[in-house]
Amino acid sequence: MPVERARPADHTGEVVAAAIIVDGRLLLAQRTRPPELAGQWELPGGKAEAGETADDALRRELREELGVEVSGGDRIGEDVPLPDGRVLRAYRVELVSGTPVALDHAELRWVDGRELGEIDLVGNDRGWVPDLRLHLKGW
């Protein structure tokens, strides 16, 4: 198996997740699917499509899932390898316009550092907690 794949294939291999932090609180979204993840909370995001950069994917996913426009995209936390061979990466993004609405999730919640440690986060996102907390209040 080749170690490096072509660029478009790399992009399709990425799942992007957004850390939206306002006034020391992080936006979390409650999943509705699949059944084993329903009810758990995550950083909103999703799979990059073929040819999309991580930036493109973040902007599209957050428009679709939350109805907001975002910018930025500094990495935060470590890469998380997913069982299907994709890699999950978190990016810090800024809200440019709109107020987040749960268009594809059960609910949204803004959490401080203490609440982030107590909420039922999807397993893949748990490793990011220490890095995220550095930007949050209340811990």
Binding stretches for ligand DCM (CB under 6 A): 15, 17, 42-43, 45-47, 82, 88, 122, 124-125
Q: Give the CB-side neighbour count of residue 119, counting CA atoms within 13 A.
A: 25
* CA dist list (Å): 107 to 25, 29, 54, 111: 16, 6, 25, 13
Nearer to ligand DCM, 3 or 131 (CB): 131
d(CA 102, CA 31): 10
Nearer to ligand DCM, 47 or 135 (CB): 47
For residue 139, which amino acid is it?
W
Minimal distance, residue 25 CB to ligand DCM, in Å: 17
In three-state secondary structure terms, 71 is: strand
Minimal distance, residue 71 CB to ligand DCM, in Å: 19
Minimal distance, residue 79 CB to ligand DCM, in Å: 12
Nearer to ligand DCM, 30 or 124 (CB): 124
